[in-house]
Amino acid sequence: MPTLQVDFLGSTLRNPFLLASAPPTNTVEMIARAFDRGWAGAVTKTIPLEKVPVRNVTPRIHSIAFAGFAEEARRVYAFGNIELVSEKHADYWMDGIARLRRDYPDRFLMASLMAEAAAEGDWVELARRAEAAGASAVELNFSCPHGGMPPHAVGAAIGQDTAIARRITRWVRAAVRCPLVVKLTAAVSDLRTLSQALALAGADAFCTINSFPVILGVDLKTHSPLPSVAGRGNVGGYTGRALKPIALRATAEVAPAGRPISGCGGITTWEDAAEFVLLGATTLQVCSAVMLEGYDIITDLCDGLLSYLEDQGAERLDDLRGRALHNVVPHASLDATARRKSSIDLETCTRCGKCAIACRDAGYQAINEAADRTPSIDEDKCDGCGLCIQVCPVWDCMVMRAV
Ligand SMILES: Cc1cc2nc3c(=O)[nH]c(=O)nc-3n(C[C@H](O)[C@H](O)[C@H](O)COP(=O)(O)O)c2cc1C
Q: pLDDT: is 70 or 3 the higher one?
A: 3
Q: How far apart are CA 54 and CA 83, in angstroms?
A: 10
171 confidence band (pLDDT: 50, 70, 90): very high
Any ligand 1 atom below 6 A from CB of 241? no
Mean pLDDT computed over every residue of the chain: 95
66 confidence band (pLDDT: 50, 70, 90): confident
Residue 86 alpha carbon, nearest atom of ligand 1:
8
Mean pLDDT for 270-289 is 98
Residue 215 to residues 154, 233, 381: CA-CA distances in angstroms?
A: 19, 8, 41
Within the chain, how many helices (H) and strands (E) appear?
Answer: 12, 18
- For the range 384-392, what are the long-range contacts, defined as Cβ-Cβ under 8 Å and sequence gap of 24 or more? 384/339, 384/340, 384/341, 384/342, 386/340, 386/342, 387/358, 387/359, 387/362, 387/363, 388/342, 388/355, 388/358, 388/359, 388/363, 389/342, 389/355, 391/354, 391/355, 391/358, 392/354, 392/355
Any ligand 1 atom below 6 A from CB of 124? no
Q: How far apart are CA 89 and CA 365, in angstroms?
A: 61
Largest CA distance in the chain: 75
Any ligand 1 atom below 6 A from CB of 287? yes
Neighbours of 260 (CB within 10 A): 18
For residue 315, which amino acid is it? Answer: E
Mean pLDDT for 102-124 is 97
| Exposed / middle / buried, residue 36 (Cβ in 10 Å: 0-12, 13-18, 19+) | exposed
Tens of pLDDT, residues 120-134? 999 999 999 999 999
Full-model pTM: 0.96
How remote is the CA of residue 339 from the centroid of ligand 1, in Å?
41
pLDDT for 68: 59
CATH number given to 334-402 = 3.30.70.20
> To 10 degrees, what angle do helices 297-311 and 270-278 make?
50
Q: How far apart are CA 152 and CA 61, in angstroms?
A: 22
Q: Tell me if 204 sits within 8 A of 139, measured CB to CB.
A: no
DSSP string, 296-327: THHHHHHHHHHHHHHHTT-SSGGGTTTTTGGG
pLDDT for 151: 54
pLDDT at 72 over 70: no
How remote is the CA of residue 129 from the centroid of ligand 1, in Å?
23
Any ligand 1 atom below 6 A from CB of 25? no
pLDDT for 377: 97
Q: Please list, in sequence order, all residues whose beta carbon lies within 8 angstroms of the beta carbon of residue 20, skipping any fewer than 6 positions away.
A: 43, 207, 264, 285, 286, 287
177 confidence band (pLDDT: 50, 70, 90): very high
Ligand 1, atom 30, residue with closest C-alpha: 22
Q: Could you give the angle at the alpha carbon of 317 between the alpha carbons of 315 and 322, nearest 5°?
A: 130
pLDDT for 173: 98
Neighbours of 228 (CB within 10 A): 16
Q: Please list, in sequence order, all residues whose beta carbon lies within 8 angstroms of the beta carbon of residue 98, skipping any fewer than 6 positions away.
A: 133, 134
| CB neighbour burial string for 89-115, b if at least 16 within 10 angstroms, e if fewer | bbebbbebbebbeeebeebbbbbbbbb
- Least confident window among 60-74, 100-114, 152-166, 274-288: 60-74
351: left (phi over 0), alpha (psi -120 to 50) or beta: left
pLDDT for 146: 74
Any ligand 1 atom below 6 A from CB of 21? yes
Q: How far apart are CA 25 and CA 204, in angstroms?
A: 23
% helix, strand, coil for the chain, step of 5: 35, 20, 45
pLDDT at 334 over 60: yes
How remote is the CA of residue 392 from the centroid of ligand 1, in Å?
33
Tell me which residues are annotated as active site.
144
Q: Tell me if 344 sits within 8 A of 355, measured CB to CB.
A: yes
Any ligand 1 atom below 6 A from CB of 44? no
Residue 183 alpha carbon, nearest atom of ligand 1:
11
Q: Tell me if 131 sits within 8 A of 109, measured CB to CB.
A: no
161 confidence band (pLDDT: 50, 70, 90): very high
Mean pLDDT for 255-262 is 98
73 confidence band (pLDDT: 50, 70, 90): low
Rg of the chain in Å (alpha carbons): 23
Say if strands 367-369 and 375-377 run parallel, antiparallel, or are unpaired: antiparallel
Q: How far apart are CA 86 and CA 88, in angstroms?
A: 5
Residue 60 alpha carbon, nearest atom of ligand 1:
1
How remote is the CA of residue 22 from the centroid of ligand 1, in Å?
5
pLDDT for 150: 46
Q: How far apart are CA 131 and CA 111, in angstroms?
A: 9
Ligand 1, atom 19, residue with closest C-alpha: 210
- Least confident window among 18-32, 146-160, 198-212, 240-254: 146-160
Any ligand 1 atom below 6 A from CB of 239? yes
pLDDT for 27: 98
How remote is the CA of residue 106 from the centroid of ligand 1, in Å?
24
Any ligand 1 atom below 6 A from CB of 81? yes
CATH number 3.20.20.70 given to 6-327:
yes
The residue extents of the domains of the chain are 6-327, 334-402
- Least confident window among 152-161, 354-363, 380-389: 152-161
Q: How far apart are CA 16 and CA 31, in angstroms?
A: 16
pLDDT for 147: 62
Mean pLDDT for 212-223 is 96
